[in-house]
Amino acid sequence: MSQPVLLVIAHGSRDPRHAATVDALVRRVRAQRPGLRVETGFLDFNIPSVRGVLESLAEEVRREAPRWRGGGGRREGVRDVVALPLLLTRAFHAKADIPAVLREAPSRLRIHQAEVLGPSPLLTAALERRLYEAGLTPADKSSTGVVLASAGSTDPEAIAVIAEIAREWRHTGWCAVRPAFASASLPRTEDAVRELRALGCARVAVAPYVLAPGFLPDRIARGAAEADVLADVLGPAPEVARVLLERYDEARVPTPAAVGA
């Protein structure tokens, strides 16, 4: 039996850096799992759209479906697809937009929706990778305050997840870690930077908890003007690619509870 297709579902953006970063991440996923078919679909702004990719996959199944001579009937094939939201938290897109699109998938496709990427220790490792690439060293941790800057959401669950990541990350040795948000929620990045200064941290670093450049990441960068260090977005970090593959494997292999349901 062939393994399911991995369909990475990205939000999309008018900023060309967004799609380029998603493409780079998908290339890294393919490099980590040779032989796995990985497709990318966008919810908005970019092509191909999620619907377009689903229709294309269904058309392939139709063309490849075997014809059965016995009884004069025709047996239609079905292809398994793991649809993976390229999102860091479960907010509106993961709970509403993406399920709505997937419910309209052609009947020749059997869709398995994967969980969002976060939270994950691998993503925390990717955040630290970006901070070290920006100039920090492990020896700087105890004297450095970090702003965990996310895009923001009106969903309380998503906000709570960011706050919990900040609390857990603080226990790994940083002077302090504070969450911040580019939209919808407070505090803003610049306010969190000032708070860490007031706490007495010798230096302040901003770690964008976002996957690709765009409007809100640019707002985070502007809010980091008074920080000492601004890390890059997570992008195609190898840890992010590993999380994608973990979520893919979890979705394609039914859990015992699911089997018995």
What does the DSSP assignment read for 111-155? Answer: EEEPPPS-S-HHHHHHHHHHHHHTT--GGGGGGEEEEEEE---S-
Question: Which residues belong to CATH 3.40.50.1400 in the chain?
Answer: 5-117+238-260, 121-230
DSSP 8-state assignment for residue 200: T
**Distance between start and end Cα atoms, the chain:** 23
Query: How many other CB atoms sit within 10 Å of the CB of residue 115?
Result: 16
- Positive or negative: CA dihedral 89, 93, 94, 96: positive
- With tokens 């649809």, the residue in question is 83
DSSP 8-state assignment for residue 70: G
Contact 190/183 with Cβ under 8 angstroms?
A: no
Provide the pLDDT for residue 76: 59
Calculate the CA 253 to chain-centre distance.
20
pLDDT tens string 15-26: 999 999 999 999
Taking the C-alpha atoms of residue 240 and residue 130, their distance in angstroms, rounded to an integer, is 12
Provide the pLDDT for residue 246: 98
Q: Which CATH number fits domain 121-230: 3.40.50.1400, 2.40.30.20, 1.10.10.60, 2.40.50.100?
A: 3.40.50.1400
Taking the C-alpha atoms of residue 145 and residue 56, their distance in angstroms, rounded to an integer, is 48
Provide the pLDDT for residue 65: 77
Contact 54/105 with Cβ under 8 angstroms?
A: yes
Taking the C-alpha atoms of residue 201 and residue 195, their distance in angstroms, rounded to an integer, is 9
What's the Cα-to-Cα distance from 67 to each of 27, 57, 61, 70, 231, rounded to whole Å?
Answer: 35, 19, 12, 9, 55
Dihedral, CA atoms, 226, 166, 201, 142, nearest 10 degrees? -130
Q: Which segments of the chain have a pLDDT < 70?
A: 1, 66-76, 254-261
Return the closest-CA partner of residue 14 out of 217, 221, 214.
Answer: 214
* Bridge partners (DSSP) listed for residue 110: 80
Q: Pairing between strand 79-85 and 5-10?
A: parallel
The CATH code of the domain at 5-117+238-260 is: 3.40.50.1400
Provide the pLDDT for residue 75: 45
pLDDT tens string 111-149: 999 999 999 999 999 999 999 999 999 999 999 999 999
Provide the pLDDT for residue 92: 85
| Stated pTM of the model | 0.92
